Amino acid sequence: MGRKRLQEPADGRPTVHTVAARAGVSIASASRVLNGIGGSPETIRKVRAAAAEVGYVPNAIARSLQSQRTGLVALAVEDIGNPVYVEMMRAIEAVVASSGRQLLVHATGGRIDNETALLRRLANRYVDGMIVSPIRVTDDHLTALVDSPVPVVVVGQLGADAAVDNVRTDSRHGVALAVDHLVASGRRRIGFVNGPLDTVPGAARDAGFRAAQARHDIPLDEDLIEVGDFQYVAGRAATERLLARADPDALVCANDLIAVGALHALLAAGRQVPQDVALVGMDDTELARMMFPQLSSVSLGSAERGHRAAELLLQRIADPTLPPRREQVPPSLAIRASSGTPLPAPRPAGPPTTHPSSEGVTA
């Protein structure tokens, strides 16, 4: 008995028909084996051998159409180069990978039209779900979020009545932690370098700074407040503008990228950190620990927020009927050399000093 005639598609790629014919089994039997559903040991052996012989590659698109699952999850953030989003992305990817899915990352530039267009494109169901971290939230955002045909989780602030899974922090309280620390260390002329006020984080951090100043009975000096963008270059330029008109003894910066720009502006102006000006950033990214002096920074739990958002998304994919969930990650302050006791100056090279007694000396 001769072999069944192989059926090839127009582009010549082997199909399940090809494998079934080569293995001498029905198309249904070959399909069950190739989709991992099973079959008798002999059928499985024949189908796998035939698939290897003809070079069969599963059609992932066809599978996703049948299962309504793509195995992909999307993450949309303003700037994939910002260290805070890098930490968030790593945490999300770890959770997503544990479910057998892959992560696609989109940079939106913080543009509302980019984010809403991306949400509406989800109608094509090219991903199983999406995590988005918008810095601006409009009515268009909320409509697109609610109307999304696939699950969406928002990392950031949303209104109390938004029927969307949400993981947030309290950056207003985070700024208060920074101001409290600086006041406790004797600083009174505290400046603030912020990002755009039309963004959710910019507005919250501005409100937090003003409230903290009032709570400590420090008269508000608008000359000590400067607005730029959440980037290094803008942060440095904003600090230079502030220094041109005011003489702060401390600065709070709305993120670590701004804080690094502020550090360089201060040093270029001949100000020592922290002796002349204490400095505190926000987000507590790896960047804060890479600077010299190391930056004090308010952690907003970017990795934890990403981890929780990914878990919420996987739960929502598994059970779309769950009620909307809201989780909050509290801020914390990491105090380092830029606002604490300065590092001692290195001693000049020379012969080791001898001590008459080692009593009381500890390693």
Residue 224 in 3-state DSSP? helix
Residue whose token pair is 């507590």: 284
Tell me, letter by letter, the H, E, C secondary structure of 248-283.
Answer: CCEEEECCHHHHHHHHHHHHHCCCCCCCCCEEEEEC
Q: What average pLDDT does the structure give for the chain?
A: 85
pLDDT in tens, 24-66: 998 888 877 776 566 788 888 898 888 888 887 665 545 444 4
pLDDT of residue 68: 54
58 CB-near residues (< 8 Å, 6+ apart): 34
The answer as to CATH 3.40.50.2300 being correct for domain 68-169+302-329 is yes
Of 36, 38, 33, 28, which is closest to residue 50 (Cα–Cα)? 33
pLDDT of residue 158: 84
Q: Provide the CATH topology of domain 171-301+332-341+349-362.
A: Rossmann fold (3.40.50)
Report H helices in the chain: 16-23, 27-34, 41-54, 60-67, 83-98, 112-121, 139-147, 171-184, 200-215, 232-245, 256-268, 286-290, 302-318
**Same CATH topology for 68-169+302-329 and 171-301+332-341+349-362?**
yes
Mean pLDDT of the region 337-359: 52
pLDDT in tens, 178-198: 999 999 999 999 999 999 999
DSSP type of residue 223: G
Token pair of 45 as six digits: 């052996």
CA distance linking residue 286 with residue 106, whole number of Å: 22
Domain boundaries, the chain: 16-58, 68-169+302-329, 171-301+332-341+349-362
